[in-house]
C-alpha cells in the first residue's frame, strides 16, 4: 500500500479520524437479530486521509485499491454513489485514500471513510445537505457512520443511531493492534455473549466506568487479543474497542503513552493518539466554511 496515496491535484483533502468505544454495554437483542447497545464514542487525532476531485462525467472512481475489498463494495464508493443518486447531481468524483487505520480493528476506519466521503462530496458538489440528512443516509451504510457524520463525542444508544453529545476528558491513548481480524457478526452471534446489561443513564456514566461486554468473548476466541490485553495491562488498565481487535489504555500525557509503546514487542504494532471531543474532520470543514 502506498503511503502518499493522494496526488497534489486533489481539490479537497480531508481526514477520516478513528474512534474508540470507551465502554460498550449490550442491553438486549432485537427481533431483527441486531443488538441494542449503550456505548461511548470518542474520536482520535489519528486516522485515514481522503482526497477528492470533481468529475464532470458523473463517474465515481476510487483510485486506491484495498486488499480484500472490491471497488464497488468499498464503503467510500457506496457512500458516494448513494449521495449522488439521492441528491440527483450530475457530478462525479475522483477519490484517493491514504489508508492508515487497520481494517476490522474496532476503530471505525471504514465507517469514518464513508462519513468523510459524505461530508466531502456534500461540500464539493455544493449540495447543502444538513447533518440530519447525511447522518440518516450514513446509518444505512453502517451503524457507526452517523457519529462520524456528526463529529461530536457521544453516548450512543439503539444500534448506535441515538446520539447524545458528551464532553469528556481528552487523554492520550495507546492503541495496540493485535494482528488478527475479528468478525463483528461472529462476536454478536456467540452464545456466551452477555446480552442483558441493565441500561445506565448518560449522567450516571462516570468517565472510565463501564466495560466492554464483547471483551470476554473476543478474549476467549482470539489469543492475539487476549495476549495484547495481558501485555498492556502490565502498564495500564487495558480494554477492547468495539468488537476489536484493537485494545487501548489511557494516559495523562503523550510522553507516558510513548514510553509504554516503546516497550511493546514488535509483534504488537501500536500507535499513540489524543482523544478528541470534536472530530478533526469537522474542525477542518469549519475552517473551510470560514474561508
Ligand X SMILES: Nc1ncnc2c1ncn2[C@@H]1O[C@H](COP(=O)(O)OP(=O)(O)O)[C@@H](O)[C@H]1O
Ligand Y SMILES: C[C@@](CO)(OP(=O)(O)O)[C@H](O)COP(=O)(O)OP(=O)(O)OC[C@H]1O[C@@H](n2ccc(N)nc2=O)[C@H](O)[C@@H]1O
| Binding site feature residues for ATP | 102-112
> If contact means CB under 5 to 8 A according to the sort of partner, which of ligand Y, ligand X, none does residue 76 touch?
ligand X
> Min. distance of Cβ 108 from ligand X in angstroms?
4
Q: Does 109 bind ligand Y (CB under 6 A)?
A: no
Q: Does 242 bind ligand X (CB under 6 A)?
A: yes
> Which of these is catalytic: 94, 98, 113, 144?
144
> Min. distance of Cβ 128 from ligand Y in angstroms?
27
Using alpha carbons, list the distances in angstroms from residue 73 to 191, 214, 225: 30, 27, 28
Q: Restricting to residues 65-84, name those near ligand X by CB under 6 A.
A: 68-69, 74-76
Q: How far apart are CA 137 and CA 141, in angstroms?
A: 7
Q: How far apart are CA 11 and CA 81, in angstroms?
A: 19
> Min. distance of Cβ 115 from ligand Y in angstroms?
12
Count CA within 13 A, CB hemisphere, residue 10: 22
Residue 9 burial (C-beta neighbours within 10 Å; 0-12, 13-18, 19+): exposed
Q: How far apart are CA 101 and CA 108, in angstroms?
A: 8
Q: Examine the residue annotation and report whether 144 is marked as an active-site residue of this protein.
A: yes
- Which residue in 120, 242, 249, 275 binds ligand Y (CB under 6 A)? 242
Q: Which residues of 150-169 are buried (b: 16+ CB within 10 A; e: fewer)?
A: bbbbbbbbbbbbebeebebe
Q: Examine the residue annotation and report whether 99 is marked as an active-site residue of this protein.
A: no
> If contact means CB under 5 to 8 A according to the sort of partner, which of ligand Y, ligand X, none does residue 103 touch?
ligand X
- Positions that interact with ligand X (CB under 6 A): 68-69, 74-76, 103-111, 113, 242
Catalytic site residues? 19, 144
- Contact footprint for ligand Y (CB under 6 A): 21, 33-35, 37, 39, 106, 108, 142-144, 159-160, 184-185, 188, 242-243
Amino acid at each position: 500500500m502506498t503511503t502518499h496515496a493522494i496526488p497534489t491535484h486533489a481539490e479537497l483533502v480531508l481526514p477520516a479520524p478513528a474512534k474508540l468505544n470507551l465502554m460498550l454495554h449490550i442491553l438486549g437483542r432485537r427481533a431483527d437479530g441486531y443488538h441494542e447497545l449503550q456505548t461511548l464514542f470518542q474520536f482520535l487525532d489519528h486516522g485515514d486521509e481522503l482526497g477528492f476531485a470533481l468529475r464532470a462525467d458523473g463517474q465515481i472512481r476510487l483510485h486506491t485499491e484495498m486488499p480484500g475489498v472490491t471497488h464497488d463494495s468499498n464503503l467510500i464508493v457506496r457512500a458516494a454513489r448513494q449521495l449522488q443518486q439521492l441528491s440527483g447531481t450530475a457530478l462525479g468524483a475522483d477519490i484517493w485514500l491514504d489508508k492508515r487505520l487497520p481494517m476490522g480493528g474496532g476503530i471505525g476506519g471504514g465507517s469514518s471513510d464513508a462519513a468523510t466521503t459524505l461530508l466531502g462530496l456534500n461540500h464539493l458538489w455544493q449540495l447543502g445537505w444538513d447533518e440530519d440528512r447525511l447522518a440518516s443516509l450514513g446509518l444505512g451504510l453502517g451503524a457507526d457512520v452517523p457519529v462520524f457524520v456528526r463529529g461530536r463525542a457521544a453516548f450512543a444508544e439503539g444500534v448506535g443511531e441515538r446520539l447524545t453529545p458528551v464532553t469528556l476528558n481528552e487523554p492520550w491513548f495507546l492503541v495496540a493492534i493485535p494482528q488478527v481480524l475479528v468478525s463483528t457478526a461472529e462476536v454478536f452471534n456467540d452464545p456466551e455473549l452477555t446480552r442483558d446489561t441493565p441500561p445506565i443513564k448518560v449522567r450516571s456514566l462516570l468517565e472510565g466506568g463501564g466495560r466492554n461486554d464483547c471483551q470476554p468473548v473476543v478474549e476467549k476466541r482470539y489469543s492475539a487479543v487476549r495476549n495484547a490485553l495481558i501485555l498492556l495491562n502490565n502498564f495500564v488498565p487495558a480494554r477492547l474497542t468495539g468488537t476489536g481487535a484493537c485494545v487501548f489504555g489511557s494516559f495523562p500525557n503523550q510522553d507516558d503513552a510513548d514510553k509504554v509503546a516503546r516497550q511493546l514487542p514488535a509483534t504488537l504494532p501500536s500507535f499513540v493518539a489524543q482523544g478528541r471531543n470534536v472530530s478533526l474532520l469537522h474542525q477542518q470543514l469549519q475552517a473551510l466554511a470560514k474561508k
